Amino acid sequence: MTEKTKIAVLVSGGGTNLQALLDAEKSGILKSGKITLVISNKKDAYALTRASNAGVKGVVISQKDEGQALSFEDRLIEALEAEKAELIILAGFMCILSEKFTHHFKDRIINVHPALIPSFCGKGYYGLNVHREALNYGVKVTGATVHFVNEIPDGGKIIMQKAVSVEEGDTPEILQKRVMEEAEWVILPMAAEKVSAEIMKGRVK
C-alpha cells in the first residue's frame, strides 16, 4: 500500500485551522495525508498544545532566535526535509515566505485566506483586516480560498473556494467567526485531501 502524504503544518497562533485538519484526519475526510509535524514561529502558540494533544510532533523555529548559523527559512527547510514533509500547509502562519522558500517547495505549499481571492488579498490583508475591509466595502458575499503559495502574497493558483453571506449587523469579529466555521474549516481539509491524493498518485508513477 502506498504511504500517506506526509504533511507539515506551519502555525503562529491558536491553531483553529490546525484543529480542523486534525479532526478531518480523525474523521477520515483527510485520508490520503498524515500530519506528522507542526512548526510554530511562536513558542507560546496554543497550536503547539493542539499538536501535542493529538500526538503530533511540535517544533518552535523563531525569527528571533539569536546565535543561529542558519537563517529562519533555512532552519524551516532543514526541519521540513528532516521530517520528509511532502505537503506544507500554512494555517495562520504570520510570516511572508521568500521566493527561495516557495520555489524550494514548488506546488507543495498551500494556504487558506479568509476572502474570495482576488478580493481583499495581498500584502497587509490578514486576520481581522480582511473582514474589516470587506465590511467597509459593503460586499454582500465573502468567503475563503485555499491556494498554492508562491512568492506573491495570496498570488498562487486557487485550489478551492467557498462563499459565505455577509449579514446585517456583522462586525469584523462576527464575520471572521462565520467565515472560519462555514468556509475555512470546510475547504482547508478538503483541499489538503485533494493535494495529498495527487502527491500520492504522482509517487506511484
C-alpha 46/C-alpha 15 separation (Å) is 6
Maximal CA-CA distance, the chain:
53
Q: Any idea which residue has 498524515 for its cell?
A: 34
Residue 176 parent element (H or E): helix 172-179
Active site (annotated) includes residue 103: no
DSSP alpha helices (H): ranges in 38-160? 46-53, 72-82, 99-104, 128-137
The catalytic residue among 103, 113, 131, 147 is 113
- Using CA atoms of 170, 173, 174, 177 in order, give the dihedral in degrees to the nearest 10: 140
- What residues are labeled active site? 113
